[in-house]
A and B are shown apart, each in its own frame.
Chain A
Amino acid sequence: MADSKALPPPTPFLKTSRTDAWWIPSLLTFLGLGFFLVYGTWAILVGKNYTYGPYISPLYGLELWGDSPHALFGARPGFWPAWLPFTPGIFIAWAPAGFRFTCYYYRGAYYKAFWADPVACTVGEPRSSYLGENWFPLVMQNVHRYFLYFALALMLVLAYDAVESTQFEDGFGLGVGSLLTMMNVVLIGGYTFGCHALRHLLGGRADSLPVGFKGACYDGVSACNRNHMKWAWASLFGVLFVDMYVRSCAMGFIPDLRIF
Chain B
Amino acid sequence: MPQATFRISRGDSATHSEFKDYAVEISEGMVVLDAVHLVQMVHAPDLAARWNCKAGKCGSCSAEINGMPRLMCMTRLSDLDLSVPVKIEPMKTFRRIKDLVTDVSWNFRVKEKIKKFKPRPADNADGTWNMAQRDVDRVQEFRKCIECFLCQDVCHVLRDHQKHDEFIGPRFIMWNAALEMHPLDTDDRLKELKDDNGLGYCNITKCCTKVCPEHIAITDNAIIPMKERVVDRYYDPLGWLWSKATGT
Residues of A at the B interface (CB closer than 8 Å) are: 1-4, 6-11, 16-20, 104, 107-108, 111-112, 117-118, 121-122, 124-125, 128, 130, 132-135, 138-139, 142-146, 196-197, 199-200, 204-205, 207-209, 211, 215, 225-226, 228
Contact = CB atoms under 8 A, between A and B. Distances in A.
Contacts of A104: 204, 224, 227
B160 A118 contact: yes
Contacts of B219: 108
B206 A128 contact: no
A13 to B, nearest CB: 10
Given A18-B67, A122-B64, A204-B228, 7 more contacts: A8-B17, A122-B67, A130-B157, A132-B198, A207-B183, A211-B134, A226-B220
B46 interface: no
Interface stretch (B52-60, B121-129, B162-170): B162-170
Main secondary structure of the interface of A (DSSP, over half): loop
A196 B207 contact: no
Nearest to B139: A207
B228 A197 contact: yes
Interface of B: 13-15, 17, 64, 66-69, 81, 84, 87, 89, 92-96, 103, 106, 109-110, 132, 134-135, 138, 154, 156-157, 159-165, 180-183, 185, 198, 200-207, 210-211, 217, 219-220, 224-225, 227-229, 231-232, 235-236, 238-239
Contact of A117 (B68, B103, B205, B217): B205
B154 A121 contact: yes
Nearest to A135: B200
Contacts of B203: 107-108, 111, 117, 132-133, 138
Contacts of A121: 68, 154, 156, 205, 207, 210-211
A2 B162 contact: yes
A50 to B, nearest CB: 33
Given A108-B203, A122-B159, A132-B157, A6 B164 contact: no
Nearest to B93: A7
Contact of B205 (A118, A134, A208): A118
A117 B156 contact: yes
A225 B135 CA distance: 18
13 contacts: A6-B95, A10-B161, A10-B162, A18-B66, A108-B206, A111-B203, A117-B205, A121-B68, A130-B161, A130-B201, A135-B200, A207-B135, A207-B181
A6 B13 contact: yes
Contact of B225 (A8, A111, A204): A204
Contacts of B217: 226
A104 B224 CA distance: 8
Most chain A CB within a 10 A radius of its CB, from B94, B135, B161: B161
B64 A133 contact: no
A225 B201 contact: no
Nearest to B204: A108
A182 B97 CA distance: 60
A204 B225 CA distance: 7
Contacts of A124: 160
Contact of B164 (A4, A143, A146): A4
A207 B182 contact: yes
Nearest to B64: A17
Contact of B231 (A1, A7, A17, A142): A142
A200 B229 CA distance: 8
A121 B207 CA distance: 6
Contacts of A199: 225
